[in-house]
A and B are shown apart, each in its own frame.
Chain A
Amino acid sequence: MKFALQFHQTSPQQLEICWPDKISPEILQEMLLAKEVITENYGHELRDLRMGYHQMGCVFKDKFDYVQIIDTLLQVITLPKPKWIYQSWTLPVLYEGKDLESMAHILQLSPNEIVDHHCQNNYLLYFYGFLPGFMYLGGLPEILHLPRKKHPDPLIPKGSVAIGGKQTGVYPLDSPGGWHIIGKCPVSLFRPEHAPPVFAQPGDRIAFYPIQKKDYQLIQKDVTKGNFSPTLVI
């Protein structure tokens, strides 16, 4: 184990496991390992498990024996880490967002430079939260960091690709929001009729690539017919 863990019992059924207070791929890797251990050993007693950047909340169906759980966890994560297995996905984006110009102005970049920087990185999917299917992605180039808007937009349309603070993301559903919109993605990131309702799992890598309006329309047609999935990079 590389990190010192803290445990907080929030209620007789709830346990929160805390890693050090920062955003780090190594912490995520250890959290995913812990998640696997808990699901394998206590899956039938577990009601749900949810993650933040460095906290993992476990809710058990009944009162639980935390001493045993902590013991199991500490034993397993002292072992050498197995190879991190993940998938990489690419998502098409039409970079014509309504805030692209204003953002370029504030950051003193051209809109094209914003697009280049946004497409250059592989983003790490830490967890889902905020909205069904909303990916918390790490790895936004520092040059694109920009504080959220003072006055959130009442409606950000589904598919909007946006930047807020040190983060970037895609709105899977219509929602109010304070992020700067730089483009739109024709792929449905949350499909409630599918199990699981999302493509990517925490730990996977996501990249964006620019497309033209006609490609957007073609992909959108395919998505409606159910013929389009984000590309899995092998």
Chain B
Amino acid sequence: MKGCQINKIGPINSIQDLGRKGFVEYGVPESGPMDLFAHQSANHLLKNKPTASSLELTLCGANLEFDKTTHMVLTGAPTELFINDSQKEIYKVHQIQAGDRVKINAPQTGQYLYLGIKGGFLTESILGSRSFFKGITSNFFLSKGMVLPYRAYNKPLQSKHAHISSHPSYLNQNTLKVYPGPESKGIDPEVWDDLMSMEFSVGKQQNRMGIQLNETLNISLPEILSAPCYPGTVQLTPSGKLIVLMRDAQVTGGYPRLFQLTSKAISILCQKRTDEKIRFKEVSGQATIPI
């Protein structure tokens, strides 16, 4: 099985599926798409199983060549897509023939793009997932010359496909819904209100493990003994900076946990570029459980 050949790509891109769920107790990060919503949209439009993998592009485009028929779709940040030099819509399913060349431009705004194909890319599955991770999968970044295996799909495009707007509204949102984290009990109510009304901005230091925010807060909480953390956990560092843990984050950490983002908020945040603004908004309805 040959497959989809990468002729041009940026440095930090990967294959992602829903990630590794059953191995966190051995210290294995969950991984999975930074923008889960965009990845799921691709599978939904293709009528794929939810477990199918997609190609995640980070702040760059790619040139690819397919050797078998399939269907493809591009989701995530707004960009331009070409099949054999003819421009195509994103968030629409397109027919791919053997020999077709696909060109994806770097996104105009936002950061992450997802290229889905029928059945997904069939790269190696380790510990229940094809998501690339250093020390687990043999490749941890995609590079020029790689060939991504996939199965041919010969059925014609259906005229009536599922529909998703080509510019989903979450890409314009900047409010991140959060639940109070376990250590938020140590924050005064007035300070909490300030945190909820303050504007934050995305820092330069960001990758699939975490995103640091620019602002330095004048609050401190004692460091904690290593405790569980998750994608979307917001940690307060001793220097007063906030770090939002993302999909490849380690499974335990020693910084106090201020908030927990909803899954949708992780999708909103990961599409923000350096210095773009965000706010937090508390979701009510849970707290420390009295017994």
Contact = CB atoms under 8 A, between A and B. Distances in A.
B103 to A, nearest CB: 34
Contact of B260 (A6, A11, A23, A54): A11
B260 A48 contact: no
Given A11-B262, A54-B225, A131-B135, A197 B23 contact: yes
Contacts of A128: 25-27, 251
Nearest to A58: B228
Interface in A164-221: 172-174, 190, 192-193, 195-198, 202
A49 B182 CA distance: 16
B210 to A, nearest CB: 14
B135 A53 contact: no
A19 to B, nearest CB: 10
B21 A192 contact: no
A54 B29 CA distance: 20
A8 B251 contact: no
Interface in B259-291: 260, 262, 285-289, 291
A133 B26 contact: yes
A75 to B, nearest CB: 13
B127 interface: yes
Interface residues of A, number: 49
B225 A173 contact: no
Interface string A95-126: 00000000000000000000000000000000
Interface in A17-66: 18, 21-23, 47-57, 59, 66
Interface of A: 5-12, 14, 16, 18, 21-23, 47-57, 59, 66, 70, 74, 127-134, 136, 172-174, 190, 192-193, 195-198, 202
State the main secondary structure of chain B at its contact with A: loop
A16 B252 CA distance: 13
Interface of B: 21-29, 126-127, 133-137, 179, 181-182, 224-228, 230, 250-253, 260, 262, 285-289, 291
B135 A192 contact: yes
B127 A130 contact: no
Contacts of A11: 179, 260, 262, 286
A197 B225 contact: no
5 nearest interchain CB pairs?
Answer: A129-B252, A57-B228, A128-B27, A52-B227, A173-B135
Contacts of A74: 291
15 contacts: A8-B289, A9-B286, A10-B181, A10-B286, A18-B182, A49-B24, A50-B24, A52-B228, A53-B225, A59-B230, A131-B27, A132-B28, A136-B226, A192-B127, A192-B137
